[in-house]
């Protein structure tokens, strides 16, 4: 699945994985000396990007690393659809995921005070920092613009959403109609997981099924859904959500005992509350080193970052490299060196179709789909391996800081400094 040349780092030997590339590091020159005063780095968010960043920062032994996360456990967002359907768990212990010396504080960051260089917490505490890694992740919620959506639709983007939804589904009769809104990867996986459990599922696409896939790959998904009696509604939107039905934009009414809303994207408002520039959806605007356009001591990673106001696709595939690059930027600034520009490429995307099938859509380095995919029963173990390797990669970085490497050469568009400033 790896196309094109790889840049082999001088720091070690490359080992390939499904999402990332693992490099066994040598000791980094200039990063092993003790300083009399430790450098405080606060990582806000303990998801895929935040944990990688925290572990990678351990390449210097004079850095004091604190991760602030709202939960005491790591949430495998890639498995929330399994948790909802009762076919898997979605939490992991932070013990093996965070390296020695990384401090975890279970709390919510409410504001970054750039003047005093403190991160204010919901508990009333304040953490001093020299650098912040802003890795707050993303969320999704039913839109207020659709009547009844907030009141009656169930989101699935966060653990608490999934816990609430699972409890409701477990009380439903087996043939009660379930509607999934949104035909991206999350919507497809949620609909498929429930359908394989014998649930009656309708999938409302908005426009078309699996819009980021090639035509051939979309046909594969559609055939699987048809075999499992999932009704697919394309080129139609939800106009209203009622307690036991939904009204479509064409006037049709679809019975729905539970409506699951997987469409949409949002991020926490921490950056905006802190007076930092964000894009229209609230992502922190950075330059191509992932440094905030407002403050060089704040570096972003993951879904909540908008490099050059052109964010990458929300994905675990991007989160790991972005977390690693954010850490590298901080380490470079500590060392008095110029941070490197962001350079990463996509390999494709994969989606599970229940527990026994899946599909891998191969992509060009700029994330546009190739007319090539892997599907069927072989697709399921590939997807499962990719999901497992995500945590394995984090664990490896915890044991060997600096070990994550990734495929490079993806296209990034040039943007002038004046274009980076958006919403204050």
Segment 298-340, tens digit of pLDDT: 999 999 999 999 999 999 999 999 999 999 999 999 999 999 9
What confidence category does residue 392 fall into, taking pLDDT thresholds of 50, 70 and 90? Answer: very high
Angle between helices 215-227 and 185-196 (to 10 degrees): 20
Chain mean position to CA 172: 30
CA nearest neighbour of 47 among 94, 13, 113: 94
What pLDDT does residue 376 have? 86
Give the span between the Cα atoms of 209 and 195, in whole angstroms.
16
Measure the CA angle with vertex 403, ends 387 and 323; round to 5°: 65
- H helix intervals, 176-305: 185-196, 215-227, 270-273
How does DSSP assign 280-334, residue by residue? Answer: TTSPEEE-TTSBBSS-TTEEE-GGGEEETT-PPPSSHHHHHHHHHHHHHHHHHHH
The string of pLDDT tens digits covering residues 117-144 is: 999 999 999 999 999 999 999 998 899 9
245-248 and 253-255 as β-strands: parallel, antiparallel, unpaired? antiparallel
Model pTM score? 0.89
- Pull the structure tokens for residue 71: 């939960």
Q: How many CB atoms lie within 10 A of CB 356?
A: 12
Rounded to the nearest integer, the mean pLDDT of the chain is 90
- Could you tell me how many residues make up the chain? 424
Closest to 410 measured CA to CA, from 356, 361, 367, 351: 367
The SS3 of residue 10 is coil
- pLDDT, tens digit (0-9, with 9 covering 90-100), for 21-38: 444 343 343 433 334 489
Query: Taking 70 as the threshold, does the pLDDT of residue 17 lie above it?
Result: no
- Whether the per-residue pLDDT at 72 is higher than 80: the answer is yes
For the cut 80, the answer to whether the pLDDT of residue 415 exceeds it is no
What is the biggest distance separating any 2 CA atoms in the chain, rounded to whole angstroms? 70
The string of pLDDT tens digits covering residues 273-286 is 999 999 999 999 99
Residue from 214, 146, 221, 151 nearest 183 by CA: 221
Residue 36: per-residue pLDDT: 45
Q: Is 56 left (phi over 0), alpha (psi -120 to 50) or beta?
A: alpha
Q: Lowest-confidence range among 9-18, 179-188, 229-238?
A: 9-18
Q: Helix 48-56 and helix 379-399: axis angle, to 10°?
A: 30
- Predicted pLDDT of residue 412: 62
Q: 328 Cβ partners below 8 Å, 6+ apart? A: 56, 339, 340
Q: Is the pLDDT score of 16 beyond 70?
A: no
Give the residue-averaged pLDDT of 391-395. 96
Picking from 309, 294, 300, 265, the residue whose alpha carbon sits closest to that of residue 45 is 300
Q: Higher model confidence: residue 383 or residue 7?
A: 383
Instruction: Average the pLDDT over 195-217 and give the result.
Output: 97
Query: What CA–CA distance (Å, rounded) separates 316 from 118?
Result: 29
Query: Could you tell me which residues are beta bridge partners of residue 201?
Result: 178
Q: Is the pLDDT of residue 189 over 90?
A: yes
């Amino acid at each position: 699945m790896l196309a094109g040349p790889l840049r082999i780092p001088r720091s070690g030997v490359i080992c390939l994985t499904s999402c990332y590339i693992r490099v066994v590091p040598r000791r980094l020159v200039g990063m092993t000396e003790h300083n009399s005063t430790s450098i405080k780095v606060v990582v806000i968010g303990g998801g895929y990007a935040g944990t990688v960043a925290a572990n990678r920062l351990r390449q210097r032994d004079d850095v004091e690393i604190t991760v602030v996360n709202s939960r005491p456990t790591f949430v495998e967002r890639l498995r929330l659809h399994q948790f909802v359907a009762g076919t898997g768990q979605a939490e992991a212990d932070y013990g093996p995921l965070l390296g020695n010396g990384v401090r975890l504080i279970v709390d919510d960051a409410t504001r970054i005070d750039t003047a005093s260089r403190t991160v204010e917490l919901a508990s009333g505490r304040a953490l001093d920092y020299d650098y912040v890694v802003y890795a707050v992740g993303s969320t999704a919620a039913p839109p207020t613009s659709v009547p009844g959506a907030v009141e009656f639709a169930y989101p699935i983007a966060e653990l608490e959403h999934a816990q609430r939804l699972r409890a409701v589904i477990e009380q439903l009769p087996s043939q009660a109609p379930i509607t999934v809104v949104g035909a991206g990867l999350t919507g497809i996986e949620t609909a498929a997981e429930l359908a394989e459990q014998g649930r009656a599922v309708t999938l409302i696409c908005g426009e078309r099924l699996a819009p980021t896939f090639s035509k051939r790959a979309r046909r594969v998904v559609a055939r699987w859904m048809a075999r499992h009696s999932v009704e697919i509604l394309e080129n139609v939107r939800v106009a209203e959500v009622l307690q036991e039905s939904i009204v479509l934009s064409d006037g049709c009414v679809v019975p729905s005992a539970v409506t699951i809303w997987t469409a949409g994207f949002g991020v926490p408002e921490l950056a905006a509350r802190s007076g930092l520039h964000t894009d229209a959806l609230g992502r922190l605007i950075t330059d191509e080193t992932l440094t905030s356009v407002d403050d060089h001591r704040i570096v972003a990673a993951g879904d909540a970052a908008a490099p050059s106001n052109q964010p990458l696709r929300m994905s675990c595939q991007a989160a790991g490299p972005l977390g690693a690059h954010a850490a590298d930027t901080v380490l470079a600034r500590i060392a008095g060196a110029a941070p490197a520009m962001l350079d990463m490429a996509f390999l494709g995307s994969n989606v599970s179709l229940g527990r026994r099938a899946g599909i891998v859509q191969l992509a060009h380095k700029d994330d546009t789909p190739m007319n090539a995919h892997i599907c069927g029963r072989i697709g399921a173990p590939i997807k499962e391996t990719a999901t497992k390797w995500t945590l394995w990669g984090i664990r490896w970085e915890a044991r060997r800081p600096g070990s994550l490497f990734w495929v490079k050469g993806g296209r990034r568009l040039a943007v002038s400094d004046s274009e980076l400033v958006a919403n204050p």
